[in-house]
Chain A
Amino acid sequence: MLRLPRFRVLSPRTYGEAAKLLDEHGAAELDRSRGTPTLRVMLVAGGTDLFPNMKRRQFAPEILVSLTHVRNAAGVQENGELVISAGTTLTALAQDPRVRERYTALAEAAEVVSTPQLRNMGTVGGNICLDTRCNWYDQSLFWRTAEGYCMKTNPEVVCRVATSSPRCLAVASADTVPALMVLGATVHFEDARGARDVRLAEFYREDGMSPSTLRSDEVLTDVTIPREDGWRSTYVKLRDRGSFDFPIAAVAAAVRWDGRAVADARVAITALASRPILIDAARAALIGTRLEDEAIAAAAEAVHKTARPMDNTSGTISQRKRASRVLTERALRSLRPA
C-alpha cells in the first residue's frame, strides 16, 4: 500500500472558520525560502491533486483543513454574473446547462479533466490551485531520493529540466484555467483578516516552485465570470490518451461578434509554460477581422511565439510547440459563425 503520511483532519463549516484555522495553525509563517516547504497545515478540497502528492511525500502536513463540510461550498448561481463556488465539482460544472450554453469553454475544459471518477471528486477551486507538474517532481520519494531531487522541492539543487535555469520550469497543467481566463474570470479569497479579489489572468507567475500569488493562509471561495452576451468560446486540449492525462498543450479561445466582425477576442494557453497565459497579441490579431484564415494564422503565430514548452512532461518540445499553433487554429475556426 502506498500510504498517506500521518495527519490530523479539521473540518470547518464556513470559509471564515477555515481561514481562522489556517491562521491559528501557523500557515502564514510558512518558510518560502526553501521552495516547496514543510507545510504544517494545508487546505484540501477534493484531494485529487493533494493526496497523490502527499503519497509521494511532496507534502507531509501535520494538519489538513478540509473544505468538504463547508456550507454552500458548491454550486453555480447567476445574479448578473456567474458565481461558481470553489467547491463545485468538475462534473457539476461540465453538466451545468448555463455553463454549457454560455460559458462553453469552461464546460468543455471541465469535461476533459482526467477521468469521470476524478471529476466527481475534484473541484474547480482545486483545479485553479493545481500544483505545477514535472517529470522530475511527480515521482515517488524513492525515485526522487535515488535521483537526488530537483529544484522544486530542494532549491539548492539545479533544475533538472534545464540545469542552467535560474528558476523551476515545472509546467502549469490545469484545464479549466485558460477557459476561465478567456471568459474574464475573477477569483475571490478569504483569510483571517479579510477578503481579496484577483483577476485570474493576473493570479499566476512564471515560477514552477511558486506558480501563483495564492498565500498559504487564504482560502479560495468563489470564481465569478461577468455576463458577456455575444461571446462564443471553446477549449481544445492535446494529451497522450483520450482520458486520464493532463494537457501537454491546450488553448482556450473566446470571440465576441459584432455583426460579421470580431468585436473582441481572447486566447489563453496552458501546459506550454509554468503559468497559463492570456495572449494579448493574439487578441490584437483578431479584433476587426472576420476570422479569415489570415487572421487566424496571425493569432496562431502570436500563440506559437509565446509558447515555451520544456522537456518536462509527455510529448516532445517541438510537437507541443507546433501543437500550440494547430490547436489555436482549430479553436478559432470552430468559433466562426455557422
Chain B
Amino acid sequence: MTSTKELLTLHVNGEALTVAAEPHHTLLEVLREELGLTGTKHGCELGECGACTVLVDGAPVLSCLTLPVLMGDAEVTTVEGLGSGERLHPLQTAFAEEGAAQCGYCTPGMLMAAKALLDGTPRPTREQIATAISGNLCRCTGYTAIYEAIEKAALRT
C-alpha cells in the first residue's frame, strides 16, 4: 500500500521531534515505531487497560486513542522523560524498592498516572492515589505495593 505519511513535529520529553507518520496512526504507534520510545506499552489498545498512558500537557491520557496529527504544540511526556539522565525519578526508585513492579508491563502507565497525581497533589491520600490510578490495570501486584510506592515517593519529593 502506498505511504501517505505526513511530516509532523511532536514535542516529546522536552524535545521537538520531526517525524514522518501516517495520519491514521496513533500516538502509541508513532512513539514506539517511529521514535523508538518503546517504554510506553501497548496493552488492549481499546482504552480498557491504561498501559499506554502518557502525559499530554501534564494530564494523563491514553496514547492508543490519541492522534498525533491533531496534537499541535502539546507537550508529551513518556516514561523515558521521567528520570533525568541516569538518575531515576523518585517514583521509579520507590516502585523498585517496594516491589510495585512485578511483570512490569503496567508500570510505565502507572508511573505516568502517578506523576500527574503528585504534580498536582504532592501529599495525596490513599483514596486520591486509588482514584488517580483507577484507569490503570495491574494483574500482578494487587495494587497495595503500588499505593505504598506512590506514598513513599510523595514523601521524598
Main SS class of interface, A: loop
Residues of A within 8 A of B59 (CB): 91, 120
Determine if B46 and A118 form an interchain contact, defined as CB atoms under 8 angstroms apart: no
* A8-B23, A120-B60 as given contacts; A115 in contact with B50, CB under 8 Å: yes
B54 CB, nearest partner CB in chain A, Å: 9
Interface size, A (range): 20 to 34
Give which listed residue, A5, A51, A69, contacts B65 with CB less than 8 A.
Answer: A51
B42-83 residues at the A interface, CB under 8 angstroms:
42, 45-48, 50, 53, 59-62, 65-67, 69-70, 72
A6 CB, nearest partner CB in chain B, Å: 5
Interface size, B (range): 20 to 34
B15-38 residues at the A interface, CB under 8 angstroms:
22-26, 29
Mask, A202-245, CB within 8 Å of B = 1, is 00000000000000000000000000000000000000001110
A120 CB, nearest partner CB in chain B, Å: 5
Determine if B72 and A2 form an interchain contact, defined as CB atoms under 8 angstroms apart: no
Mask, A61-85, CB within 8 Å of B = 1, is 0000010110000000000000000
Q: Which residue of B lies closest to A4 (CB)?
A: B24
How many interface contacts (CB-CB < 8 Å) are there between A and B?
84
Determine if A3 and B4 form an interchain contact, defined as CB atoms under 8 angstroms apart: no
Expressed in whole angstroms, the Cα–Cα distance for A114 and B62 within the complex equals: 12
B84, CB-defined interface residue at 8 Å: no
Residues of A within 8 A of B131 (CB): 116
Determine if B24 and A5 form an interchain contact, defined as CB atoms under 8 angstroms apart: yes
Residues of B within 8 A of A116 (CB): 60, 113, 131-132, 134-135
Determine if B60 and A114 form an interchain contact, defined as CB atoms under 8 angstroms apart: no
Residue from B1, B42, B62 having most chain A Cβ neighbours under 10 A? B62
Determine if B25 and A114 form an interchain contact, defined as CB atoms under 8 angstroms apart: no
Determine if A121 and B62 form an interchain contact, defined as CB atoms under 8 angstroms apart: yes
Top 4 A-B residue pairs of the complex, sorted by shortest distance between their CB atoms: A115-B135, A243-B134, A2-B45, A52-B46
